[in-house]
Chain A
Amino acid sequence: MSNDETKSSEGSFRPEYKTYGDIVWEQFKKYTLSYYSMWGVVCLFLLATIAPMIALNVPFYIYVPASAVVDNVAAGVHFPWAASLFDQGFFESGVDIFFNSMIFTAPTAVITWFFASKSAAKRLNKQEMKGFRVRYALSAAAAIMVVFLLFYFGGFRQPPVNWVQIAGQDGVSSIFPPVEYSYRLTDTLAVAKPPTWAHLLGTDDRGRDVFTRMIYGTRISLTIGILAVAIYTTIGMILGGIAGFFGGRVDALVLRLVEVMICFPTFFLILTLRGFVTKASVFHIMLIIGLTGWTGIARLVRGEFLRLKGQDFVQAAIAMGFDKRRIIFRHLMPNAMGPVLVSATFGVAGAIILEASLSFLGLGPTTAPSWGQIMTVGRRLHAWTLILAPGFAIFVTVSLLNLVGEGFRDALDPKLRK
């Protein structure tokens, strides 16, 4: 039949196999600033992960001679650093346990990928490789989660040992991380000190090293940002999807709910919810942000669903006799994800600022070293380093995320969709 149509596949001018994601990625790379910002965000994650390698008051290696034995530490060579990472007497929050387990699981995943992809490249063609990559990423993420959960629910604890004190004794050789403090180590003799070589950013009102707290604060901010957005994106997608797909009364109901929610200023809603929690953890804060932030996503997804529902491919799916679940999850959802992802990227930046503001008001996570908490201490102590340092960290993180979001938005622009 149509020779001109079929010929293109046989000759050498067969266009390269590209998925929708490939096109978006290609386009995204053209926005240089956004592209490098994305690497900046990756570096922030790296920093959050390797925080115990930079600052921890536990040595990687220590040799305790018989002369220097203190209470529960035996003589000989010890490697207490690795064990202390999973000590829940020390790192009590799941956030820390997760990032600590990532120190081991993430490099493993990368190395395994290096070998797996080499062997896979021999037997798979280019497009099967893409599927393989996705499968690998998913299974690696699952494995990382499993390892984390094992550690977390293992509830591993060990007796506290003052390694810094032991290391100070004669005949003890040790290698510590560059900064020999933990973010919870209080020092009553060094309260509210200005920056010195010992404390690069000074100490706070309880004599804790602020530099250490800043580094660990990256974990708190990124986790709260991402998980809070994950929570509200999920809620928003479910409610918006229901409203957009079923329409009519359900739609009206969800829309009224959204309107009621956006009647209240979000921040005061968060403050109110915060009032119900007495001793807030990181997870309480992200839950509170997650429960209040879903309205935008819900409206976005509803709009996308309404638009897509009229498209012929959805009508075709109905004509094929597919059930609602399949139409929603295979046909509507994947096509509505683009703007949701963009909005979520901006949302992470917003959630980080929200968390910092809550902590600044003294309503953040009570024990976690958050940037906002450092700032509020700085205000109380009139210490400029304690205000500028977290302020700068928040500024950099939020700017990077916003730049990534902007690049994403431009890359997903419908103009490039063919």
Chain B
Amino acid sequence: MSATTNDPTTGAEPLIQVKGLKKHFPIFKGLLNRQVGAVKAVDGLSFDVYPNETVGLVGESGCGKTTAGRSLLRLIEPSAGEVIYGGDDILKYGSEDMRKVRRNLQIIFQDPYSSLNPRMTIEGIIGEAIEFHGIAKGTARREMVEALLVRVGLQPSYITRYPHEFSGGQRQRIGIARALALSPQFIVCDEAVSALDVSVQAQVINLLQELQDEYNLSYLFIAHDLSVVRHIADRIAVMYLGQIVEMTTSDALFKDALHPYTQALLSAIPRPNPRRHAKRVILKGDVPSPINPPTGCRFHTRCPACYSPCSKVEPKAVEIEAGHVVRCHLYDPEHAPKDPTVWSKLPVPRDASGDAMAKPPEEAVAAPAPVPDVEPESTKSSGEEE
């Protein structure tokens, strides 16, 4: 994505800009422990997160979502890239500066059972950071912790208890209270609701949304459940093998997904309507190994609409409308397919001669792209049923 574009809806400066984030886990082998390769878990991720915005990050298991979320907080040290927060690249910070900036960037974990220290009371877990960063001590700290517990819907009397006395949903609320304790601006929700059952999931998501409005938070919401992401996210980035293949507003994605992978992914959402026989696209094969990703387009081995340049040239990210980025040769005017039948092979077939073919080059030329007519805020309420 472009470096300094403002939020198309609010015109605000981005809170966090991620540019070309990479995390390669080296593989060592042999007698001399030589590096023989790398698992390219995250391979050049770029996106912005604006204030008070939720960016959803979706993809199959193993596509690098979690690694992306953790490496942009430097819980895993990224191999390359930039994460710009407050005008500085936090990846260049020394450990002391980094510890200071961490106050503003928090994380909520997937597993509510391993994310709380089993040897500490709830007061200790939530209040430790408050005391460490010199915000409050003693009674003041206790009151802050109690207030946070109330805010996340728990009893203030819980402060003396230990994590094992709570259910999964309650623990996740404690995890949220802990993340809120330092009043951060940005929270990575790393599959924050995936381990919870559906009714608790809905409660926690609603809580997260309330907190977002209250504390003006930005979320990077990592999930594999598309309906959850649709409910909470303003914009969604779809990841495949360490790269973002499509990123746009949540509404646009569900209405008009362009990338064949996104289309296949969307067709897999179960629909609660027995009479509607939607066509399910079944992708052939497995996700290729991130150690040795396919040349050219990473999706070409499974893509139903694969054509000549796909296996050779790596596709560029193309901005089709303002804020709608696709990494696919089909939409790149440079590689536009000569054979129009390719379009019909897409999971959601497009008219060969119609708008799909004609539109992309047009849009690319037209400089001030039309603002999407749907306000991102309203998307939250649109996906109520789940």
Binding site for B on A (CB under 8 A): 1-2, 5-6, 9-10, 15, 17-20, 127, 311-313, 315-323, 326, 330-331, 334-335, 417-418
Contact = CB atoms under 8 A, between A and B. Distances in A.
A365 B199 CA distance: 68
Contact of A17 (B115, B161, B169): B161
A315 B107 contact: yes
A321 B107 contact: no
A316 B129 CA distance: 10
Contacts of A320: 102, 106, 128-129, 132, 178, 182
Contact of B157 (A9, A311, A318, A319): A9
Interface string B149-169: 000011101101110110101
B58 interface: no
A335 B153 contact: no
A197 B291 CA distance: 82
Nearest to A332: B117
A15 B157 CA distance: 13
Given A316-B175, A320-B106, 18 more contacts: A1-B206, A5-B153, A5-B167, A5-B170, A18-B162, A311-B114, A311-B115, A313-B114, A316-B115, A319-B102, A320-B129, A321-B99, A321-B103, A321-B129, A321-B132, A322-B128, A330-B120, A330-B128
Given A2-B169, A319-B105, A312 B162 contact: no
5 contacts: A5-B154, A19-B162, A313-B115, A320-B128, A321-B132
A312 B118 contact: no
Nearest to A7: B155
Contacts of B115: 311-313, 315-316
A417 B162 CA distance: 12
Contact of A326 (B98, B110, B132, B200): B132
B102 A2 contact: no
Given A6-B155, A313-B115, A334-B119, A1 B207 contact: yes
Interface of B: 70, 73, 75, 98-103, 105-107, 109-111, 114-120, 128-129, 132-133, 153-155, 157-158, 160-162, 164-165, 167, 169-170, 175, 178, 182, 200, 203, 206-207
B118 A20 contact: yes
Contacts of A9: 155, 157-158
Most buried by A among B101, B116, B119: B119
Nearest to A131: B160
Contact of A418 (B102, B109, B164): B164
Nearest to A418: B164
Nearest to B184: A319
A10 B129 CA distance: 28
A5 B203 CA distance: 11
A413 to B, nearest CB: 15
Contacts of A312: 109-111, 114-115
Given A15-B165, A127-B160, A323 B99 contact: yes
Given A1-B203, A15-B165, A313 B116 contact: yes
B170 A319 contact: no
Nearest to B163: A313
A136 to B, nearest CB: 19
Nearest to B109: A312
| Interface SS, A side | helix
Contacts of A418: 164
B75 A315 contact: yes
Most buried by B among A2, A15, A18, A127: A2
B154 A6 contact: yes
A18 B169 CA distance: 20
A41 B206 CA distance: 56
A331 B133 CA distance: 17
Given A320-B128, A321-B133, A6 B153 contact: yes
Contacts of B114: 311-313
Contacts of B106: 319-320
Contacts of B120: 330
A306 to B, nearest CB: 15
A2 B200 contact: yes
Contact of B109 (A6, A315, A322): A315
Contacts of B100: 321
Contacts of B129: 320-322
A50 B115 CA distance: 49
Contact of B153 (A1, A316, A323): A1
A318 B115 CA distance: 12
Most buried by B among A5, A10, A321: A321
A122 to B, nearest CB: 19
B102 A17 contact: no
Contact of A335 (B75, B102, B105, B117): B117
Contacts of A323: 99
A5 B164 CA distance: 14
A313 B70 contact: no
Nearest to B100: A321
Nearest to A318: B75
3 smallest CB-CB distances across A and B, nearest first, come from A321-B102, A312-B115, A321-B99
Contacts of A6: 153-155
B264 to A, nearest CB: 31
B107 A316 contact: yes
B149 to A, nearest CB: 10
Contacts of B109: 312, 315-316
A409 to B, nearest CB: 18
Most buried by B among A9, A312, A326: A312
A109 B296 CA distance: 77
Nearest to A126: B160
Contacts of B169: 2, 5
Contacts of B164: 20, 417-418
Contacts of A318: 75, 102
A17 B157 CA distance: 12
Nearest to B130: A320
B185 to A, nearest CB: 14
Nearest to B153: A1
